[in-house]
Amino acid sequence: MPQPGCVRHPDRPTGLQCNRCHRPYCPECLREAPVGYQCVNCVAEAARTVPRARTIAGAPMPTREQRPVVTYALIAVNILVYAITVAQSGNLMANYRGSSIFEMFALFPPLVAAGEYERLVGSGFLHYGSVHLLVNMFALFIVGREVEFVLGRGRYLAVYAIALLSGSAAVMWMQVEAVTAGASGAVFGLFGALAVILTRLRQNPTGILVIIGLNVFISVTIPAISLWGHMGGLVAGAVSAAALLYLPKVVASGKQTTAQRASRLGLIGLVVVTVAVLASIAVRVVVLREALWGL
């Protein structure tokens, strides 16, 4: 009696079959299962029906092969912008002199009040010299990867952006006459987020708290460093992470799954924090316009 052909390769006779659907398959189309073999179609179907493990923030649990692509992308953008400023200025350390990008995006509150709102975000990708860049990128590389894996790419990027904006908002209120730049506000936001994550996981946050304390001390003792930009980012990052990790636990009803609570209520919390930061900036712009130009 002739053997049936493989379902996926009809020209290949086979005496093998899938233990799940019992259809004939050739060895190439079968995969080892706990009992016998299953075809690639059944293996794929089983993978779709099995819920994927998730982190406490509702993000898919990272695999060994997964890379922190958002962190790498942020580092790449910062390095690229720095390289452009160096090319424009012709100086590795004084890259802020003669650079049109620096002149266009460095954070100066009166110019923001005049309508140049792009400085609120653009300043977070500028750096005063190579040392400033290397310190911030090293911190972003170390801390960013951990936060990205727990929060997931989208939430992580949102927390980073909120911290960056909040750092700019703090400078708008507290350092009106200063010209500031750097990713430090956003990086401090990741410090705050990591402290909240470790606390939520019931792990010892002492290490990150010591790092935060040391950086705050440095920010206070060195005049050239923007203390308020750092503090604004730190607070916003911690509050944003708390909204993602604690709000679902406190508010959500028992009818929803943990993943659904983290996804919906956590994102609502991020929106609230974002609106608060933007409202703070808007109020400050109005106040500055009245104080500087009587508008």
- Residues noted as catalytic: 184, 230
For residue 65, the number of C-alpha atoms closer than 13 Å in the C-beta half-sphere is 0
Contact in structure between 27 and 7 (CB atoms under 8 Å): no
Three-class secondary structure assignment of 7-18? CCCCCCECCCEC
183, with CB counted inside 10 A (0-12, 13-18, 19+), is: buried
Q: Give the Cα separation of 61 and 31 in Å (integer).
A: 24
**What's the CA angle centered on 31, arms 27 and 32, to 5 degrees?**
110
Q: Using alpha carbons only, how large is the chain's radius of gyration in Å?
A: 26
Q: Give the Cα separation of 239 and 33 in Å (integer).
A: 46
Contact in structure between 193 and 240 (CB atoms under 8 Å): yes
Nearest to 57 by CA among 208, 240, 253, 254: 240
Q: Give the Cα separation of 266 and 253 in Å (integer).
A: 14
